[in-house]
Amino acid sequence: MAKHDVEIRRYLAWRKKVRGKTIPIRLYEIIYVGIVMLWSKMGKPPLSRAIHEYIDRAEYKKELMSGDLFYKLIAEIKETPCEDKTGYYLANSREILNQKELEQLDKEKKSIVRELMTNNKVERYHVVFKFCEIYQSWALAKKTAQAEDITKQGNFEIHPKLPLEIIH
């Protein structure tokens, strides 16, 4: 396993505990994290090279085009039902997803998998880039809001950037 720098480790810890993720953001995050990990492992090359490597890997077909990575997230969520059976408890962020949100997660997963399933590498690149760009916008907005919270001062939340910037 590659050893990632402090900035990436802090980001990974932050993303687990951050609250208020929408259903699509939870799924886009999986793709963004995959690219960040590969990018770091590759020695932090230009973004385009990292994305091209990401979409060309056998793991892309095995994990993303099949939906396996998204199924893992859903299975992980289902492992922690609330005692009153009204939803599922997410321990890291201390949030609860209700049954309707879990159904929306499955529906959104299917939509995302359809977009990722293209064999055209240019389309595949654009889809992955778009999902990462949307996730980055959400994460930066969340970090900006958290930076104003005095209890977050001195934490990763106040840094205005993510480890990997998605830019045109």
Residue spans of the domains in the chain: they are: 6-158
Phi-psi sector, 57: left (phi>0), alpha (psi -120 to 50), beta: beta
- pLDDT for 150 equals 64
pLDDT tens profile 109-139: 999 999 999 999 999 999 999 999 999 999 9
Residue spans of beta strands (DSSP E) within 15-150: 87-90, 95-98
State the pLDDT confidence band at 52, using cuts at 50, 70 and 90: very high
Residue 143 has pLDDT above 80, yes or no: yes
Own/partner long-range contacts of 145-149 (Cβ < 8 Å, ≥24 apart): 146/18
> Residue 147 pLDDT more than 90?
no
pTM of this structure: 0.88
Q: In the predicted model, what is the mean pLDDT of residues 72-101?
A: 90
Neighbours of 157 (CB within 10 A): 20
* 23-41 and 68-78 helices, crossing angle to 10°: 120
